[in-house]
Amino acid sequence: MTLSPSDFRKYAPSLPVDQEKAEVRLMAIVITGTFLYNLLETVMYMLTVPTAMVHKVAGLSQIPHSLFVFAGIFIGCALMTVPHFYSLCFAPDKLSRRLPRKLATRATMIASVAWAWLAALAMPLDAGMLPFMYFLNCAGCVIVGLVYGFSLNSQQLRKLSTDETTEAG
């Protein structure tokens, strides 16, 4: 049995109807800010602290200048997330645009692949729980991406429901 958008709204009335509500935006700001902080902190450790394990692990790849490749990946992910963060903080009227959230979602998936790659590179080292910690960062990125994906799907569902009610009325 497939639910139509109106059936879904009937069975799930507690879902917020508009994205502009302050409490939903505040939660999204915290999630996005934490994700950005995680990315930028990693880049700072990679590039400025040569004794940091992430600096050493990123340099283990067979790719030339892999340290800068990983830093570039994380910087690129942060840049892809900034438009969504800006919309949440300063332009809530533009939250109906899907592109910033799509970019942020893709950034989380790219970052999760990079963290999984770092975890795989850390496996042969005798570094205790380091690979597990990198896999936790990978899982955290995937969870944030799922939150963004849920938000995108909810927006699409609201639009379909609105279109359906407009056609019926």
Question: Do the Cβ atoms of 4 and 167 come closer than 8 Å?
Answer: no
CA distance 48 to 71: 11
Beta-carbon neighbour count of residue 141 at 10 Å?
Answer: 24
**pLDDT (tens digit, 9 = 90+) per residue, 24-56?**
778 889 999 999 999 999 999 999 998 989 989
**pLDDT (tens digit, 9 = 90+) per residue, 57-95?**
888 888 888 899 999 999 999 999 999 999 888 887 787
The amino acid that residue 28 corresponds to is A
More reliable by pLDDT, 125 or 105: 105
